[in-house]
A = this chain, B = another copy of it.
Amino acid sequence: MEMSPMIESFVFHFGEMGSRWGFNRTVGQMYALMVVSDKPLNANQMAQALNISRGNVSMGIKELHSWQLIQQHHIPGDRKDYFSPKGDIWDMANTVFEERRKREVDPTLSLLRDILLDAPADDSEAYAQDKMREIHDLLETGTQWVGELQRMNPDNLSTLMKLGAGVAKVMDFKEQLLSSTEGKSDKRDR
């Protein structure tokens, strides 16, 4: 099994980029290859196409499994395991965000929360805590928001995306109708 130049350029590029997204080059290549393959692939095919060792492929599969990005198939009469991406591209994006949040943001939030429980020993610690609180609040608001977007049904999300900055207009609109039921707008302090 060998890749056409078109597929090759995609796979290699994805390998480089993939490393930025939390997995290494070969794992990125493996995933890219599965995405553009119209049928599930077995480990040997991947090793051959990407010119990497069989052992490396095995590690990569394990990693992609832990990211919940792939799916295993059993083809009757064939003892090899076949793999394909799980879900569609949208699901992939969701999964990657989700996993990254678990690995990167959650531990940071937890550390910040712990630190913020301690009373500051002096002015410089008080200053530091203020900054940490800002970061904490930003991360918390951000993750909550992303979580809500992810839980939103795809239709509404799509509308929202297409709406883009127009969302501001809708909100103004709402505010006009419902104005003066709430306190004055709370500005972000800068």
A155 interface neighbour in B88, B124, B158, B185, Cβ under 8 Å: B185
A52 proximity list for chain B (CB < 8 A): none
Assembly CA distance A157 to B134 (angstroms): 16
Assembly CA distance A171 to B111 (angstroms): 37
Assembly CA distance A37 to B155 (angstroms): 46
Whole-angstrom distance between the Cβ of A190 and the nearest chain B Cβ: 5
Known contacts A38-B123, A148-B164, A158-B187; A9/B171 CB under 8 A? no
Instruction: Give the size range of A's interface with the partner.
Output: 35 or more
Q: Is the CB of B160 within 8 A of A171?
A: yes
Q: Give the interface of A toward B (CB within 8 A).
A: 4, 6-7, 9-10, 13-14, 17, 20, 22, 35-38, 88-90, 93, 100, 103-104, 107-108, 111-112, 115, 118, 120-121, 123-125, 127-129, 131-132, 134-135, 138, 141-142, 144-145, 148-149, 151-161, 163-165, 167-168, 170-174, 185-188, 190
Could you list 27 A-B pairs, sorted by A, with CB under 8 Å?
A: A4-B121, A6-B115, A9-B111, A10-B111, A10-B112, A10-B132, A13-B108, A17-B104, A20-B103, A35-B131, A35-B135, A36-B131, A38-B127, A88-B134, A88-B190, A89-B134, A89-B138, A90-B188, A148-B164, A153-B168, A154-B188, A154-B190, A155-B185, A156-B168, A158-B186, A160-B168, A170-B170
